[in-house]
């Protein structure tokens, strides 16, 4: 008997799923043991050519109606957004006992625990490999392949747009605004880029990875999130001189203060594998107590990679696999307190713009000393008496609260002419 699929949303990814199901029909039937067919779809524009013949496929103007169609086995939700139609459809489909496959990281980041409880209570599958890192099978890796490990930390490059911008800034020694405008023209960045460049997209994905890694409820609100708007070509140059590259990194780890989840620009050492993940590519690193360090790398977005992940979930369902939604059954997901960012410990890069005159460095180092922040190195290029010059400092490991107090004191110095720039350094 054929497996009957309904697809809600026929944008770039939805059209990619249609194309894959059509072109790989024989391969999929061989691997599933039965035919996978698209029985119904929902999209705004019925006249648009998706590259696949959809005659004979039922069309629904209201996507939520797919949940009530008795001839549908799996609903594929590719609409997007944490609420609205995407949420209504997903909840209705699961409540009806239908399996749901989604690429919607915002929906899972905000409502993941509740949806997991609904799915498992109805013995339905909520599958979402495509929601995190596109074609990289990181969800399955954490939930299944690495299930025997306690995860020390999971981190990585989770947004291809930001990685493309930072790569292009470094290679061309160009500023953020110029590269962003170019990325928008090329289609790598949206006209409203805030979700990407302000770190929100990566934070959605990190919240999901943390739930998988630690058996916790998805806690998007607990993710400390910063974007890349403030990164300058000057910072990127200094990073290279110091032996680092700047990347937007999502990082989750368990600490004595709770679960630390953060998405921030960081300096990663040049000998780190993810330092060389460039352009639109994503990379995720998992550190387990038995497996050691595992690196997963590939395209994090696009029609082909994302469709590949969506259809992989369909294949699993066709084979009769019913894994728990996260790494433990939904009724055992823990509400783990979020570790305050003020308690984070690490090293820091600080760039100051100061008036070049005697005593400036002594004043700056006194502010650091008074907060017990220890310097590791200092860079100053050239001299310009009476004019502004950049001064770069790196610190030994310190608590973030102390670092921020020191920066507040430094900013009040008369010789400091703009707010200090701080970037965390990854070990």
Give the pLDDT of residue 355: 92
Residue 61 DSSP one-character state: S
What number of other Cβ atoms are within 10 A of residue 157's Cβ?
Answer: 26
**What number does CATH give the domain 138-297+331-341?**
3.30.360.10
Instruction: Return all residues near 53 (Cβ < 8 A) that are at least 6 apart.
Output: none
What Cα–Cα distance (Å) separates residue 97 from each residue in 91, 102, 122, 264? 10, 16, 5, 39
Quick one: CATH architecture of 344-425? 2-Layer Sandwich (3.30)
Give the catalytic positions in this structure. Answer: 205
pLDDT at 412: 96
Q: What pLDDT is stored for residue 382 in this prediction? A: 67
3-state secondary structure of 59: strand
The CA dihedral of 141, 147, 150, 155, to the nearest 10 degrees, is 10
Contacts of 181 (CB under 8 A, 6+ apart): none
Question: What is the b/e burial string over 99-136, where b = at least 16 CB atoms within 10 angstroms of the residue's CB?
Answer: bbbbbbbbbbbbbbbebbbbbbebebbbbbbbbbbbbb
CATH architecture of 3-131: 3-Layer(aba) Sandwich (3.40)
pTM of the model: 0.95
Structure tokens at 117: 């409880």
Question: Which residue, among 222, 260, 247, has the nearest Cα to 113 in the 3D structure?
Answer: 222
pLDDT in the model for residue 49: 76
pLDDT at site 165 = 96
pLDDT truncated to tens, each residue of the chain (427 aa)? 899 999 999 998 999 999 999 999 999 999 999 999 999 999 887 778 777 778 888 999 999 999 999 999 999 999 999 999 999 999 999 999 999 999 999 999 999 999 999 999 999 999 999 999 989 999 999 999 999 999 999 999 999 999 999 999 999 999 999 999 999 998 888 889 999 999 999 999 999 999 999 999 999 999 999 999 999 999 999 999 999 999 999 999 999 999 999 999 999 999 998 999 999 999 999 999 999 999 999 998 889 999 999 999 999 999 999 999 999 999 999 999 999 999 999 999 999 999 988 899 999 999 999 999 999 999 987 667 778 899 999 999 999 999 999 999 999 999 999 999 999 999 7
Ordered by start, the domain boundaries in the chain are 3-131, 138-297+331-341, 344-425
Q: Each residue of 141-153: b (16+ CB within 10 Å) or e?
A: bbbeebeebebeb
Helix (H, G, I), strand (E, B) or coil at 265: strand
Element (H, E) at 424: strand 421-425
d(CA 115, CA 122): 11
DSSP conformational letter for 277: -
């Amino acid at each position: 008997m054929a497996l009957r699929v309904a697809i809600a949303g026929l944008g770039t990814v939805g059209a990619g799923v249609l194309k894959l199901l059509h072109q790989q029909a024989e391969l999929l039937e061989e691997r599933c043991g039965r035919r996978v067919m698209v029985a119904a779809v929902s999209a705004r524009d019925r006249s648009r050519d998706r590259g696949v013949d959809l005659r004979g496929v039922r069309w629904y103007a209201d996507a939520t109606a797919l949940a009530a169609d008795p001839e549908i086995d799996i609903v594929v939700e590719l609409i997007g957004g944490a609420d609205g139609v995407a949420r209504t459809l997903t909840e209705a489909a699961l409540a009806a006992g239908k399996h749901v496959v989604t690429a919607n990281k915002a929906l899972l980041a905000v409502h993941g625990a509740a949806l997991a409880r609904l799915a498992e209570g109805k013995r339905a599958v909520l599958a979402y490999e495509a929601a995190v890192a596109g074609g990289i099978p990181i969800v399955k890796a954490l939930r299944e392949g690495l299930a025997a490990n306690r995860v020390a930390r999971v981190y990585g490059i989770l947004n291809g747009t930001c990685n493309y911008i930072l790569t292009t800034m470094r290679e061309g020694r160009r500023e953020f605004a110029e590269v962003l405008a170019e990325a928008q023209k090329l289609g790598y960045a949206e006209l409203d880029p805030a979700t990407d460049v302000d770190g929100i997209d990566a934070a959605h994905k990190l919240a999901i990875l943390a739930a998988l890694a630690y058996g916790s409820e998805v806690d998007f609100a607990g993710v400390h999130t910063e974007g890349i708007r403030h990164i300058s070509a000057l910072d990127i140059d200094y990073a290279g001189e110091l032996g680092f590259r700047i990347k937007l990194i999502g990082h989750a780890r368990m600490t004595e203060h709770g679960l630390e989840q953060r998405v921030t620009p960081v300096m990663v050492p040049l000998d780190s594998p993810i330092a060389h993940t460039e352009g639109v590519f994503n990379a995720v690193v998992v550190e387990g107590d038995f497996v050691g360090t595992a690196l997963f790398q590939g395209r994090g977005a696009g029609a082909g990679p994302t469709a590949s992940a969506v259809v992989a979930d369909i294949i699993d369902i066709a084979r009769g696999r019913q894994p728990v939604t996260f790494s433990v059954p939904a009724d055992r997901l823990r509400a783990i307190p979020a570790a305050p960012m003020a308690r984070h410990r690490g090293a820091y890069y600080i760039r100051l713009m100061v008036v070049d005159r005697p005593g400036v460095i002594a004043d700056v180092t006194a502010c650091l000393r008074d907060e017990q922040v220890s310097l590791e190195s200092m860079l100053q290029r050239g001299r310009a008496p009476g004019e502004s010059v950049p001064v770069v400092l790196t610190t030994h490991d310190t608590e973030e609260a102390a670092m921020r107090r020191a920066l507040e004191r430094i900013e009040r110095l008369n010789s400091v002419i703009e707010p200090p720039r701080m970037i965390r350094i990854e070990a």
